[in-house]
Amino acid sequence: MIFDRLAGLDIGKTANHIIQTNIGRANAPTRYPFLWNAGRQNKTQWPGFAPNGTPATAVIRNVGEVLGVFGRFYPTQTIPGFASYKDNSVDMGGLLKLETLIDSLTPPPFRWPVDKALAQKGAEIYKWTVAQGAGCEGCHGILLVDPMLPASLWNTPVVNVGTDAAEWQVLGRSVDTGVLAGSRMPLFTSPLTNPALASSTLGNAVLGIMSEHIGEIAIYDLDHSTLGTGSNSVLTKTIDVGTEIAASLTQPKTAPGSYESRVMQGIWAAAPYLHNGSVPTLADLLKPAKDRPTSFKIGPNYDPTGDVGLAKDQTKFDFTLQTGCVAPTDPKAKALYGNSNCGHEYGVNLTPDQKRALLEYLKTL
C-alpha cells in the first residue's frame, strides 16, 4: 500500500499526479507490529530493508509511514537532476515528539496469574538451540549489536523460515519514477533511474523530504542520541545524518522470503502471529504448519490460559480469516497468496508439557 500510494498517486507528471501503471493489487497483508521497543531494534519493516535505532533512521521510518497513510506529497523537478520536495504535509516536529514518546513505551505486563514454577521450566526451554528442539533465543532473544555499548541496539536477524513470501516479493517490483526520475542528493545519492525499484523510489522521497528538515533533525539527534558520536557540532551532525540516510537506501538485499526476527518482549499481546497474522495463537505456532487452523475469527477476545492468543469465540467483528499451508503448485495457493501459514516450524516436536512451560514463560516477557 505504501509503494502503491507513493508511486501511483504522488509522482506522476500529469495534473492529477497519477501513474496508473504503478498501482498494483494490495494482496500482501501484514500484521501491524507492536510499538514498544521499536526504537531499540536495528531493523524496521518485516523484510528488514530499512535500518533503525538512531534518531535519523527513526525519522526515515516515520516519514515513510506518513507517505503510506496518505499524507500530502507532490514533488516537482524544474532543474534536471534536482527535485523539490517542499510540497508535503510531514510535520517533522510532531514526528520527533512522537518518537520520543515511543521510546518511553515498555512491553505490557501479562494481566493474569502466571505459574512461576512452570515459567521457570519454560525459560530453560526458551534457551535451547534448534538442535535441542526450540531455538527461540537464538533469533528472538535480546541480542546486542555491539555488546561493548551499554545502550547498544537489539539485533533482529533477517532470515527465511519458510513463511509467506508475498510481502517480500513487493520489494522486487519496479515502477515508473515519474517526476523523480534522475533526481539525486549531491554528495549522498546517485540519480534515481527510470524505472527503479519501488523501495528505492520510496527511499528517494523520504530522503528528499528529510533534506528539507535536516537541521531540525540534526539538533534532535544531538539531544536524543543514545549511542553517542562524540560530536557537538550541528554542522557535523547534519552531515552524519545525511550520510546515514543515504546509506539506508543502499542496504544489501536479503535472501528471498526473509523477514526480521523481532524480540519477543510483550509477544503475548501481539496475536495473531507471523508477519502476516496467519496464526491465531502461540500454541498454534508450536504446531506443524499442516496442523494449524485453516480459518479463525478476528477480534479482541483473548485466551490467556489455554492457547495464549486470539480466543476462538469472537463476536465484535463478523470476519473469518481463511489461511492454510499448501504447495505453490496447488490450485488453492493463489487463493491463499499473502495469507499462508506455512513455515516457522520451531518447537513443534516438544512434548505437550514442554510446550505448556514455554508458553507460560512467554507470558512473562
Burial of 104 (0-12, 13-18, 19+ CB in 10 A): exposed
The answer on pLDDT for 138 being more than 60 is yes
Residues 300 and 179 in one domain: no
- Over residues 240-251, the pLDDT tens digits come to 777 777 766 555
13/98 same-domain check? yes
Measured distance CA(342)–CA(167) in Å, rounded: 14
The C-alpha angle with vertex 104 and arms to 103 and 106, in degrees rounded to 5, equals 100
Residue after which a domain boundary falls, among 219, 248, 277: 248
Whole-model pTM? 0.90
- Residue 105: CB atoms within 10 A of its CB come to 14
pLDDT in tens, 79-116: 999 999 999 999 998 998 888 888 889 999 999 999 99
Q: Which domain holds residue 282?
A: 116-148+266-362
> Nine-digit cell at 111?
494481566
Instruction: Looking at the structure, tell me whether residues 30 and 126 fall in a common domain.
Output: no
Question: Taking the CB of residue 76, how many other CB atoms lie within 10 A of it?
Answer: 14
- What is the overall mean pLDDT for the chain? 89
- What's the rounded Cα separation, in Å, for the pair 291 and 324? 9
For 50, list phi and psi in degrees, rounded to 5. -120, 135
Most confident by average pLDDT, 160-174, 199-213, 273-287, 326-340: 273-287
pLDDT in tens, 348-357: 999 999 999 9
Same domain, 143 and 157: no
Q: Are residues 22 and 46 in the same domain?
A: yes
Q: How many domains does the chain have?
A: 2
DSSP three-state, residue 148: coil
Strand intervals (E) in 9-145: 43-44, 50-51, 76-79, 82-84
Domain match, 240 and 162 both: yes
- Provide DSSP, 21-52: GG--------PPPP-TTGGGBSEESTT--EE-
- 163, 206: one domain: yes
Most confidently predicted of 25-29, 66-70, 129-133, 246-250: 129-133
Which residue in 134, 102, 130, 92 sits closest to 33, CA to CA? 102
Q: Which residues contact 354 (CB under 8 A, 6 or more apart)?
A: 125, 133
Does residue 258 fall inside a structural domain?
no
| Domain-located, residue 111 | no
